[in-house]
Structure 1
Amino acid sequence: MRMLTYLRCAAVLLLPAGLSAPGVAQEYRGVNLAGAAYSSNKIPGRYGYDYLFPKPGEVEYFRGKGMNIFRISVLWERLQPARQGALDPAYLGRLRDFIAEASRSGAKVIIDVHDYGRYRGVPIGTDPVTSADFRDFWTRMATAFGGSPGVMFGLMNEPQLHSADAWRDIQQQAILGIRGAGAKNPVLVSGIAWDAAHNFATVNGPALQSLQDPAHALVYEVHEYFDGDSSGRSPDCIPQSQVVGRLAPFTAWLRQTGHKGFLGEFGVGRNDICLQGLDRVGSYLAANADVWTGWTYWAAGPLWGEYMYTLEPKNGTDRPQMAVLQKYLSR
């Protein structure tokens, strides 16, 4: 308890002058459920073999831990097999079923289009894939889910484009398509350069801060991993004393611009240094809940096996990372 108290106090000291820690948890706290976007090189792929939607019990387990939001990865190509064509009824139906299950439990869902800014491997804005294609896709998704208040639209996971200005314009078209369809759902926008929190303010901030939403329901989603190079490829982590340095620049940008943020992906290994760092993340986010609306840990789902960051329980036993996160789920 002494360590937790110290972390909370330290987070308060990092707030700008005149601001105090709200002392409450984020509105949204949850997990990424991966599986439906697996085998992205196999389109459409075979359901139950190349990819899976969350298995029965996933929602129940994580809701029982206190989580209230799920970020579910899907593929644009599986949802919309032809550009500006109809949505695939089978894949869409499985997504609807999962959303309905989460909704019955009282949880929200982020639809995460996990295509890295591409359609069938072609970056948006590169012939023949256009921003109009992306707008058409999100217009159809808005029509399908606009009547579901528990659904949020994650426009694109970690877009691999070279220009933040170009990506801003592409996202703006999608936002206008969503609102033109009458949907009021929150929209999560992302940035280039792996959508990283530590450099978002400089790489993406100047371009993306000008995004406009007629419904005034934009949230800026970022990702951050706490291994040495922020890539999420190592089971080892930076010291907890360095953790806040990767999140603080984005926090400052949110306050400066008046926007809200969401940590859509973060994860750590199972060793003590990583778990201490994870505790530091939870403490910092809770202390800055005025601008950080929530988080979804990466990741869980039925196909992860012994992946170093997974929250998927093993034979009914919680992973070590869950013990840390639960401190921030019971408030």
Structure 2
Amino acid sequence: MAQTWRGVNLAGAAYSSSRLPGRYGYDYIYPKPSEVDYFTQAGMNIFRLSVLWERLQPSLNGPLDEGELRRVRQFVSYARDRGASTVLDIHDYGRYRGQEVGSTAVPDAAFADLWSRLAQAFGTDSHVLFGLMNEPQQHSAQAWKNSVQAAIDAIRKTGSHNTILVPGIGWDGAQSFASLNGPSLGTLTDPAHNLVYEVHEYFDTDASGTKPACISRDQAVARLQSFTDWLRAHRAHGFLGEFGVSRQPECVALLAPLLSHMRENADVWSGWTYWAAGPLWGNYMFTLEPDHGADRPQMQAIRPFLGKSR
């Protein structure tokens, strides 16, 4: 079975989160058309576009910023014209201006308002997936579940049927999702039946994605297995929204078994976006951004999984 979505995170628009709103083209930047071209020509069909809530909606329950919305629309349109979908990723860790979603300062209704407005903007475009929140740092999975349900209800009330990506607390880790988030998030309801559970996973010893060394092949695949089992038990679908390895050969060698695991379980794994690419990463150890036009080692390992039919 073919994997529905295979792609990469394109970071840049969520840079300089401490500078709000920030200066476009200096503090933050949207991906370049040439990047979309490079990855779609390789066979990728989805991009996870990181954006900041505060830039999209400068005041809670207020209108969306027209300039920022225009930049998102331009990216979405360019990607769609090249056969690719976009995950609209609110890259705010469960916060708005530092305050927790679900708190008195940022009630669930405000989070729902954001997504209602985004659903009105993109709800007729099936090439846009709604990434509710990057790595929410909420105090409990149950509290986060209530916030997510409010957003789902608001999105569906607009008439939108777009795929909704649901993340979990605890850095959204795949290895802990079943135990930490499964009991709460498994009870979410969606009248459109179009929820996909998003997890992240890194393969250094502490799963932080901060070290160039990596664990063994068997250990790496095991970090995905419990989530695979949870998805199948709950007749649910999953998406690996972030994963990455350094350029060390033994780490690059992990990509084939990891991608094979998801492809072999494509009945529950809808797809993945590697972390990361984008114009501002420089020589970051995980980057897929081509080096003067040449593939990075990680991209060479990923290419065999980008075929049109497998």
TM-score band w.r.t. shorter chain: over 0.9
1:232 Cα offset (Å): 0.4
1:239 Cα offset (Å): 1.1
The equivalent position to 1:42 in structure 2, one of 13, 19, 39, is 19
- The residue that corresponds to 1:150 in the other structure is 127
Most deviating of 238-247 and 303-312: 238-247
The equivalent position to 1:270 in structure 2, one of 244, 247, 251, is 247
Largest Rg, 1 or 2: 1
CA distance in 2, matches of 1:242, 1:201: 17
Q: Aligned to 2:273, what secondary structure does the other structure show?
A: strand
Q: TM-score, normalised by structure 1?
A: 0.92
The equivalent position to 2:89 in structure 1, one of 112, 129, 135, is 112
Structure 2 unmatched ranges of 5 or more: none
Q: Aligned to 2:279, what secondary structure does the other structure show?
A: coil
CA distance in 1, matches of 2:136, 2:186: 17
Letter in structure 2 aligned against 1:110: V
CA distance in 1, matches of 2:2, 2:220: 19
CA distance in 2, matches of 1:220, 1:149: 18
Most deviating of 119-128 and 152-161: 119-128
1:104 Cα offset (Å): 0.5
1:56 Cα offset (Å): 2.4
- The residue that corresponds to 1:325 in the other structure is 302
Letter in structure 2 aligned against 1:119: Y
Does 2:162 match 1:185? yes
| Identity value in percent | 59
Contact 1:34–1:300 (CA under 8 A) maintained in structure 2:
yes
CA distance in 2, matches of 1:149, 1:164: 29
- The residue that corresponds to 1:163 in the other structure is 140
Runs of 4+ in 1 over 6 A off after TM superposition: none
CA distance in 2, matches of 1:165, 1:242: 29
Does 2:111 match 1:128? no
Most deviating of 32-41 and 235-244: 235-244
CA distance in 2, matches of 1:296, 1:56: 18
Contact 2:33–2:78 (CA under 8 A) maintained in structure 1:
no
Letter in structure 2 aligned against 1:177: A
Aligned length: 308
Contact 2:5–2:271 (CA under 8 A) maintained in structure 1:
yes
Q: TM-score, normalised by structure 2?
A: 0.98
Does 2:50 match 1:82? no
Structure 1 unmatched ranges of 5 or more: 1-23
The equivalent position to 1:92 in structure 2, one of 69, 77, 82, is 69
Residues 222-233 of structure 1 aligned to structure 2 (within 5 Å): 222-233=199-210
1:174 Cα offset (Å): 0.2
CA distance in 2, matches of 1:54, 1:189: 24
The equivalent position to 2:235 in structure 1, one of 258, 269, 272, is 258
- The residue that corresponds to 2:217 in the other structure is 240
Deviations 1:12-54 (A, max 9, x none): xxxxxxxxxxxx3311000000000000001000000000000
CA distance in 2, matches of 1:141, 1:303: 26
- The residue that corresponds to 2:37 in the other structure is 60
Q: Aligned to 1:132, what secondary structure does the other structure show?
A: helix
1:241 Cα offset (Å): 2.1
Q: Aligned to 2:192, what secondary structure does the other structure show?
A: coil
Q: Aligned to 2:145, what secondary structure does the other structure show?
A: helix
CA distance in 2, matches of 1:243, 1:136: 38
Contact 1:25–1:328 (CA under 8 A) maintained in structure 2:
no
- The residue that corresponds to 2:78 in the other structure is 101
1:273 Cα offset (Å): 1.1
- The residue that corresponds to 1:13 in the other structure is none
1:87 Cα offset (Å): 0.1
- The residue that corresponds to 1:218 in the other structure is 195
1:231 Cα offset (Å): 0.5
Does 2:268 match 1:284? no
Letter in structure 1 aligned against 2:305: Y
CA distance in 2, matches of 1:135, 1:228: 37
CA distance in 2, matches of 1:314, 1:53: 19
Q: Aligned to 1:153, what secondary structure does the other structure show?
A: strand
CA distance in 2, matches of 1:56, 1:284: 31
Contact 1:112–1:153 (CA under 8 A) maintained in structure 2:
yes
The equivalent position to 1:313 in structure 2, one of 287, 290, 297, is 290
Letter in structure 2 aligned against 1:79: L
The CA RMSD measured in Å over matched residues stands at 0.7
Contact 1:25–1:289 (CA under 8 A) maintained in structure 2:
yes
Letter in structure 2 aligned against 1:92: L
Contact 1:81–1:87 (CA under 8 A) maintained in structure 2:
yes
Letter in structure 2 aligned against 1:106: G
1:280 Cα offset (Å): 1.2
